[in-house]
Structure 1
């Protein structure tokens, strides 16, 4: 429609980013939304055709994007975290990946009709699942920790190596099919080793420069971006197809150097990667030939996709996990869930062009084949994971875990009270110093930005039903709640009251519910903790009703939450008036004068001294006190 490179680039970026937003807002797989958008503006309505408009630039842009995406993905391969998981993970990412490669290659050859060379290349690539599609599904399904951890780490570990396996398969098949000399094949492996060395060296140089302060903060991310491109091109010029290995080795090395500035670099790379993934995926789908869409319904392709779904994936999981602690239900779920993502499609396009240049005419089918597999797996797995997980009893639907965003003394005390109820709790903050009180109490903590995609790679959020945004940055709290609304729902998202005045209180409509009371901000809560206020637990019984508790409680106390008799938690908010019943416990923040008053009352009733402790642990009005950093009240 518009014969303009500038228009095509603008539309690609705009559609890609809008597709990501639509997917986030309506809890849909992003790749499905981008697929539909790309097809609409490309082969269906013919608005753009990036491949024709960009000409020779199309291939290099795709190649650079793939290099950066793989580098960003390999930055998540921290071997220390991987070693923390049990034997099934190691089996699946090694033995399982090998079985999936061989079985997938056989299916591509015998069912899709591809030559051995193309079949083994695409078979190696399709071992990937990918965190970009796995992580949203895990949040949606609320899986139990073990299957969730296995699926997550499989996606992260295998994702960068799928392309590398395809590269090695391509070179090896060329050696077999074209009778390339052994010297040439050994030269390729030597060049590959040298490419890995180049990536390792670039990572060491950049890491040392970061740690020694050689580079200013504002130049670290741009220079790293330039070095990644340089590393890729330099290795690829020595021998084609080794650039991907170089940037992957660079990312893995930097991920395991324990760099103090790596979190900021990851955040920058994450933003670049999201933009590239959005744009490149739209470019690929918009450039599809309408005949490619028709080819998707080719019986051979349909048979191949069915084999990958119902034979190759289950077979690789069941064989690789023999002798592990996984039960039958977990194997069934993991053997079904394997959505292919954006990396598979982008890298497939990259290899399709290379194979065609090397005379493999059947490589023209790769785009249709890949698109069919990606779309089928994302749709089928995306809409079935929750149902199947519930049927197999692998969901954590009854949890009342609490994730607190923002470290403080009050947050630490609140986390301690939640932990005492037997529910999961975690405090997340970007600052180590803000987590001082939490560390003193031994509370689970995580240092990082909850809004960063990198946090999703390293933090399992499935045990947490509630999220409490309690940092001292009000707008940040609102953004946190708004960002997680599609995943948790606004009913499970809370933020502390604004402290800068009631005029901006309406902004909380965009975020979560105001927790506790609209008149008390996190600053006021911190001031009360400093003044000696404590968190108390009061049991409600038939003899001591909730109405009586409200009538007798300290006017200065703040109602925090109710711990129900069934083990669940409900937080107090101005929007909903809660009622407590016999067997429930009311948790509140109360001044110490109330405790002293109760002790005096009991002493006046001639309660023996050794019975005073019952005020806190056992009688009908039992009250438990949590004082961060102080000794137990009974010993003072």
Structure 2
């Protein structure tokens, strides 16, 4: 393999994955960074030559990659989700698609002055949104209830619909411009479209059902070992995509989408391992696709981006999308806030970019001058919609009350007395007047597993790995042998992050409470605040530093956040922070630790250790609402 080709492949992978990591790290829409690094690597810096990124191999790779991405998207769709929103989803992918197509084509013709055939074609391309942009955006926004389901279903199912319509329009244009068949006229073109649409649906349904049945049979009969399951699944998906395309041009996208939906909703075999594999593969494919497609642009493409393009973009965002949504949802059970949010959720993605690039290549002999601006305009719409929706969707959802601005909710698994004591104190603090506006526990952000069985706890951590990030799953060891180096320690990949610190485990905390320990809310004393806020501690160091009394740090409550004290973390206490800790029984002795509103003759060990008491748990707190 020539070194230049190997270098190009390496650059694409590094930029694709690196841009997605940077987007996650800095909370930016990943597609914006992917398009930016691709454009910089291609025409700007010349790391990737636009001339070398041409040819049938690229479009074949792009088409197959999109098919795999749509299959993965279909795996996330459950038919049970359609009970409430099925009609709305159907209307958005039919009526809404037609409205978007018609108004978009009109804007292309009257604003950008494209001829009618090209306006109709580009309008069909811009119907699609797609899972490559919608799913990451939904993951970032985390909307509640029906609106997230509608957006997810529309984003995945509209891709093959828009792609099929665009292909049929393209074939019609090529038919009408073919001198050998032009005399057939418009009637023949309409007939061609109708027959093509019917064949697309028939072939896609047939191939997807057959491929799904074959795959389910093979997996259910255990004809494939575990280590080959993902590979065999990918093989069947690719084969179904190719066979479908051979039988009917560009029907493969619909085939893989239907196959993913069918596989996700069959009751015979688990598809969890397939979902995890496809999610990892999707990261690589999405990154590679956007870098490759944006690197193909020439610097001269910027000449086509002018004020008219911005006006057209505004038309799509502020008029076309809201009209399509409100008309499609006119008889739905969605309230106006949900409709308004859906009106602000139509970013274009990799399918639009890929189809535009492919069609421009095929239409060049027919419209040699007009197609030069086709790809830049579509990319401008992609960048504009992703930037505007990506940067504003989350604040808008929070304003409408459809999303939690900062999901700090804590989900406790386990109900021992000491666990309820801790949870009650956290809740009582959150519901107090001084912090109610600072910490919103509407959304659940972290999982705390506090049960006296490591095996069950580990299974719980694995089960909830789909809901919570691995960094947000914390697991308390059952006993001393379950901690690092212990004979009963579970493998790292099968458990959550170690919860709390030092020799802390379930049994030690239980004994702590049984002997009279209590949960208290502490803050830094004024005399110590200036020095202590500069210190970073691990949970072990904090317990050791204040060894004149028994203290197990549990949570740090600060402005707008609830921080879980994990064994491996370092944290800093600031003057306004409060430390929720489990204190030893000596804290309840007379003269040792006074409850709020009381005075004691002796000096408190807590006060000597730079802490003041804000609140302390006692039986009166048991009446707090849960």
TM-score after normalising by structure 2: 0.69
Q: Is the 8 A contact 1:408 1:434 kept in 2?
A: no
- Who is 1:62 aligned against? 62
Is it true that 1:519 corresponds to 2:517 in the alignment? no
Per-residue deviation, 1:285: 1.0
Cα distance in structure 2, aligned partners of 1:11 and 1:347: 23
Per-residue deviation, 1:28: 1.6
Residues 228, 138 of structure 1: alpha-carbon distance in 2 compared, 3 angstrom cutoff:
closer
5 Å matches for 1:38-437? 38-49=38-49, 52=52, 55-83=55-83, 85=85, 91-138=91-138, 140-141=140-141, 143=143, 145=145, 147-170=147-170, 179-180=187-188, 184-185=192-193, 187-192=195-200, 193-258=202-267, 260-297=269-306, 299-356=307-364, 362-389=370-397, 392=400, 395-397=403-405, 400-403=408-411, 417=423
Per-residue deviation, 1:100: 2.2
**Residues 356-394 of structure 1, C-alpha deviations (whole Å, 9 max, x = no match):** 577787444331121100111122222333444455555
Cα distance in structure 2, aligned partners of 1:155 and 1:209: 31
Structure 1 stretch displaced more, 309-318 or 321-330:
321-330
Residues 352, 247 of structure 1: alpha-carbon distance in 2 compared, 3 angstrom cutoff:
farther
- Who is 1:15 aligned against? 15
Cα distance in structure 2, aligned partners of 1:556 and 1:122: 70
SS where residue 402 of structure 1 aligns? strand
Cα distance in structure 2, aligned partners of 1:117 and 1:49: 32
* Unaligned segments of structure 2, at least 5 residues: 177-184, 432-440, 487-491, 523-542, 544-548, 589-616
Residues 140, 251 of structure 1: alpha-carbon distance in 2 compared, 3 angstrom cutoff:
closer
Residues 253, 412 of structure 1: alpha-carbon distance in 2 compared, 3 angstrom cutoff:
farther
Cα distance in structure 2, aligned partners of 1:411 and 1:125: 59
Cα distance in structure 2, aligned partners of 1:348 and 1:434: 53
Per-residue deviation, 1:343: 3.3
Q: Is the 8 A contact 1:147 1:334 kept in 2?
A: yes
Residues 343, 241 of structure 1: alpha-carbon distance in 2 compared, 3 angstrom cutoff:
closer
Per-residue deviation, 1:54: 5.7
Is it true that 1:622 corresponds to 2:620 in the alignment? yes
Cα distance in structure 2, aligned partners of 1:242 and 1:535: 69
Per-residue deviation, 1:74: 2.0
- Who is 1:604 aligned against? none
Q: Is the 8 A contact 2:520 2:582 kept in 1?
A: no
Cα distance in structure 2, aligned partners of 1:499 and 1:7: 45
Aligned length: 531
Aligned CA RMSD, in angstroms, stands at: 5.0
SS where residue 76 of structure 2 aligns? coil
- Who is 1:544 aligned against? none
Structure 1 stretch displaced more, 267-276 or 128-137:
128-137
- Who is 2:605 aligned against? none
5 Å matches for 1:531-570? 558=552, 560-561=554-555
Q: Is the 8 A contact 2:447 2:473 kept in 1?
A: no
Residues 205, 572 of structure 1: alpha-carbon distance in 2 compared, 3 angstrom cutoff:
closer
Per-residue deviation, 1:246: 2.1
Structure 1 stretch displaced more, 225-234 or 572-581:
572-581
Cα distance in structure 2, aligned partners of 1:435 and 1:167: 53
- Who is 1:469 aligned against? 474
Per-residue deviation, 1:561: 5.0
Residues 52, 103 of structure 1: alpha-carbon distance in 2 compared, 3 angstrom cutoff:
same
Q: Is the 8 A contact 1:563 1:587 kept in 2?
A: no
SS where residue 346 of structure 2 aligns? coil
Per-residue deviation, 1:230: 1.7
**Residues 171-217 of structure 1, C-alpha deviations (whole Å, 9 max, x = no match):** 57778875436765554245320232012101110122112211111
Cα distance in structure 1, aligned partners of 2:101 and 2:47: 38
- Who is 1:483 aligned against? none
Cα distance in structure 1, aligned partners of 2:333 and 2:458: 34
Cα distance in structure 2, aligned partners of 1:121 and 1:526: 68
Cα distance in structure 2, aligned partners of 1:571 and 1:230: 48
Residues 199, 141 of structure 1: alpha-carbon distance in 2 compared, 3 angstrom cutoff:
closer
SS where residue 343 of structure 2 aligns? helix
SS where residue 162 of structure 2 aligns? helix
Cα distance in structure 1, aligned partners of 2:562 and 2:481: 20
Cα distance in structure 2, aligned partners of 1:92 and 1:276: 27
Cα distance in structure 2, aligned partners of 1:360 and 1:434: 67
Q: Is the 8 A contact 2:555 2:562 kept in 1?
A: yes
